């Protein structure tokens, strides 16, 4: 049995090597992005572990078929960038890691909310521009306990976010197309997303990307939000219209945004050895705003998450290559 992992970051390597040693399985790894051209490195392997934000395309799965590779185990949750029909057409089984560390992402969302509500960006901007500090009305923040937090999506991550925001004393409301039943968490569902948007001081997104929620947060949505409200997106970039977000921030339609994921993310985001400068005009523009915290899709990035992403992905490959079924199959 032999596997290969693509788009490997340096922090994943110790966990890959340990898993290979513990399971006595040859696991190669490469920092290369998985494409039809780079798939040649996987010749002779029984399965592939992948982690990337760019598409897993039909051409790629046709190349899988050509090389006789039947298994792709993602090291992440999202499958919106995977052509699942093409995988099926080429007899490729896909698995993901549905819960590598929900608390890591939820913690990061709360971290962003605290940063923005306490106006840390304004303090940092003053220090950069003037090399001095002085108290300013711009620095006056609000307690989380004074605010209503709206959680969009009450899956594993959303439920952890509810717990954390409740721990800080916030009133928490939530919206989900498929509400959970018999929850012991202290929150209330709203009857519609619009109700949540109009009531919330902080809105935190925790749903997967779908065709239905593409650009769900757009100019019309931002007009519904309070002009003192903050948007946190640790979910998927496609949910938020970036142009409309920038306009809303510049015009004062909303007060701030924590953005961990943007539209059209490049492969460099997952490359721990990349030294390329950021050239995306929207990312640069957002990074210059004191009411924005923008990060490189790193909400998940804790020791526990990385260990679980590697271990679960490779365990799924081992099970599939051994002829067993796995709970994490997505196609």
How many Cβ atoms sit within 10 Å of the Cβ of residue 303? 11
Question: Of 12, 103, 253, 265, which is the active-site residue?
Answer: 265
Query: Would you give the distance in Å from CA 174 to the centre of its chain?
Result: 19
Secondary structure letter of residue 330 according to DSSP: -
Q: Is 206 one of the annotated active-site residues of the chain?
A: no
Please tell me what DSSP assigns to residue 119. T
Q: Are 116 and 100 in contact (CB under 8 A)?
A: no
Containing H/E element for 257? strand 256-259
- Is there a contact between 261 and 236 (Cβ–Cβ < 8 Å)? yes
Six-digit token pair at 223? 């007009």
DSSP string, 162-218: HHHHHHTT-EEEEE-SS--SS--SS-EE-SSHHHHHHH-SEEEE-----STTTT-BS
Alpha-carbon distances of 157 from 50, 169, 212, rounded to whole Å: 22, 19, 20
61 contacts 89 by C-beta, under 8 angstroms: yes
User: Which of 236, 231, 239 is closest to 286 using CA atoms?
Assistant: 231
Give the burial class of 25: count Cβ atoms within 10 A of its Cβ; 0-12 exposed, 13-18 middle, 19 or more buried: middle
Q: Catalytic annotation on 236?
A: yes
Instruction: State yes or no: is 297 an active-site residue.
Output: yes
Residue 94: in which H helix or E strand, if any? strand 93-95
Alpha carbons within 13 angstroms on the beta-carbon side of residue 304 total: 9
Place of tokens 């982690």: 51
Q: Of 61, 63, 67, 119, nearest to 89 (Cα)?
A: 61
Catalytic residue chosen out of the listed positions 156, 159, 236, 253? 236
Residues belonging to the active site: 236, 265, 297
């Amino acid at each position: 049995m032999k596997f290969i992992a693509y788009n490997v970051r340096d922090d994943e390597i110790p966990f890959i090597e340990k898993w290979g040693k513990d399971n006595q399985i040859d696991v190669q790894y490469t920092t290369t992005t998985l494409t039809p051209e780079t798939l040649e490195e996987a010749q002779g392997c029984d399965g592939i572990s992948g982690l990337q934000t760019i598409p897993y395309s039909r051409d790629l799965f046709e190349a899988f078929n050509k090389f006789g590779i039947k298994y792709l185990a993602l090291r992440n949750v999202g499958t919106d960038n995977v052509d699942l029909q093409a995988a099926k057409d080429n007899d490729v089984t896909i698995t993901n890691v549905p819960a590598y560390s929900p608390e890591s992402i939820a913690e990061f969302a709360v971290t962003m909310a605290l940063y923005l509500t306490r106006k840390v960006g304004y303090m940092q901007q003053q220090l950069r521009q003037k090399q001095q500090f002085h108290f300013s009305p711009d620095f006056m923040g609000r307690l989380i306990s004074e605010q209503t937090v709206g959680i969009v999506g009450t899956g594993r991550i959303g439920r952890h976010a509810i717990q954390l925001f409740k721990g800080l004393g916030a009133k928490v409301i939530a919206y989900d197309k498929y509400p959970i039943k018999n929850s012991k968490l202290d929150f209330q569902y709203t009857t519609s997303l619009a109700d949540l948007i109009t009531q919330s001081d902080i809105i935190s997104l925790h749903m997967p990307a779908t065709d239905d929620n593409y650009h769900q947060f757009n100019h019309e949505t931002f007009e519904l939000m309070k002009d003192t409200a903050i948007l946190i997106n640790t979910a998927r970039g496609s949910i938020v219209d970036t142009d409309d977000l920038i306009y809303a921030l510049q015009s004062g339609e909303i007060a701030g945004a924590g953005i961990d994921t943007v539209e059209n993310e490049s492969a460099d985001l997952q490359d721990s050895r990349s030294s390329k400068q950021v050239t995306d005009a929207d990312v640069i523009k957002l990074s210059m705003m004191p009411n924005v915290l923008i990060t490189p899709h790193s909400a998940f990035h804790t020791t526990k998450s990385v260990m679980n992403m590697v271990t679960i992905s490779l365990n799924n490959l081992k099970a599939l290559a051994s002829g067993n079924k796995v709970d994490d199959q997505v196609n």
